[in-house]
């Protein structure tokens, strides 16, 4: 069986309970983590070690928290007060784990489903997603990765257009795929609002735009824990707020059912 799993955010205890609940088998099952496997929770190191040690059966896309960890570990930026990944920064296997994260993709295409952390801007089709992700992934694997990471931490550009510099295109790709919630129909981003029911004026949740390119393809994503009962075709939000006392969920991609575990972190 294949499963997509929402934002773990260091909730190792709940993750273990969820894997028990789905009767996860290393010899026959595969897990696809939707990013933000670390930070905010108590056991980021254990979660990342588990995924790394089972890397033949477990895959993940990068989320904004995973990316933030890389930036804090490899540039002059310091963790902020809410960050809880100091266990990774102090670990004896830190280099191995960070190298593993640097090699992760921003998007995974699996059997006509796309797995991504935050979403896909309305103006992009599958090829735009994969091609632009590849450019970011190439930089993450390059020898100049520290310099690259130090330039990627910014909200701009908010809109995509062909005249952007390569650096701007890389930043837009990272922000769209890892951080987006609301946007305009042309893909103009916004990072302040989080509540589904209170969109900023003239912005809408990225998956509700009528002319969205990827309407006919399933998209599994995390990042937006306040999404409740979304009834949009082909849209599968799987961050069910484990870190906030909600649930950690696994979607069985073979049987099309969601299995959830109540958070054990509080």
Told to check if 64 binds Mn ion by CB under 5 A, we report yes
Nearer to Mn ion among residue 24 and residue 248 (C-beta): 248
Nearer to Mn ion among residue 59 and residue 64 (C-beta): 64
Residue nearest to Mn ion (CB): 223
Say if CB 64 and CB 85 are below 8 A apart: no
Nearer to Mn ion among residue 24 and residue 205 (C-beta): 205
Nearer to Mn ion among residue 30 and residue 181 (C-beta): 181
Query: Which range touches Mn ion (CB under 5 A), out of 41-49, 62-70, 165-173, 182-190?
Result: 62-70
Shortest distance (Å) from residue 111 CB to Mn ion: 24
DSSP assignments along the chain, one per residue: -EEEE---TT-HHHHHHHHHHTT--TTT-EEEE-S--SSSSS-HHHHHHHHHHTTTTEEE---HHHHHHHHHHHSSPPP-TT---HHHHT-TTHHHHHHHHHT--SEEEETTEEEESS---TT--HHHHHHHHHHHHHHHTSTTHHHHHHH-------S--TTS-HHHHHHHHHHHHHH-SEE-TT--B--S---TTSPPTT-EEGGG-TT-TTTTSEEEE-S-TT--S---TTEEE---BGGGTSEEEEEETTTTEEEEEE----
Residues 220-249 as x/- pattern, contact with Mn ion by CB under 5 A? ---x--------------------------
Residues 172-191 as x/- pattern, contact with Mn ion by CB under 5 A? --------------------
Give 110's strand partners: 113
Total number of residues that touch Mn ion (CB under 5 A): 4
Nearer to Mn ion among residue 36 and residue 265 (C-beta): 36
Residues 98-137 as x/- pattern, contact with Mn ion by CB under 5 A? ----------------------------------------
Find the binder of Mn ion among 14, 36, 173, 221 (CB under 5 A): 36
Told to check if 209 binds Mn ion by CB under 5 A, we report no
Nearer to Mn ion among residue 218 and residue 223 (C-beta): 223
Told to check if 63 binds Mn ion by CB under 5 A, we report yes
Residue ranges binding Mn ion (CB under 5 A): 36, 63-64, 223
């Amino acid at each position: 069986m294949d499963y997509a799993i929402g934002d773990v955010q260091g909730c190792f205890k709940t993750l273990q309970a969820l894997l028990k609940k789905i009767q996860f088998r290393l010899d026959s099952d595969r897990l696809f983590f939707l990013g933000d496997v670390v930070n905010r929770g108590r056991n980021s190191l254990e979660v990342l070690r588990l995924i790394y040690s089972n890397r033949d059966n477990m895959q993940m896309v990068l989320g904004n928290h995973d990316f933030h960890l890389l930036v804090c570990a490899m540039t002059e930026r310091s963790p902020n007060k809410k960050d809880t990944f100091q266990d990774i920064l102090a670990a004896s296997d830190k280099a191995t784990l960070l190298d593993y994260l640097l090699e992760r993709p921003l998007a995974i295409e699996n059997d006509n489903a796309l797995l991504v952390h935050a979403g896909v801007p309305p103006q992009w089709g599958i090829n735009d997603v994969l091609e632009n992700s590849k450019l970011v992934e190439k930089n993450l694997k390059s020898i100049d990765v520290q310099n690259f990471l130090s330039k990627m931490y910014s909200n701009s550009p908010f809109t995509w257009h062909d005249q952007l510099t390569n650096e701007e295109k890389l930043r837009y790709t990272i922000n769209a795929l890892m951080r987006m919630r609301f946007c305009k129909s042309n893909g103009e981003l916004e990072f302040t609002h989080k509540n589904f029911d209170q969109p900023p004026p003239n912005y809408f949740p990225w998956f509700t735009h009528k002319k969205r390119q990827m309407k006919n393809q399933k998209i599994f994503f995390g990042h937006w824990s306040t999404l409740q009962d979304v009834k949009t075709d082909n849209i599968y939000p799987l961050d069910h707020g484990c870190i906030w006392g909600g649930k950690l969920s696994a979607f069985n991609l073979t049987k099309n059912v969601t299995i959830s575990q109540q958070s054990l972190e509080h």
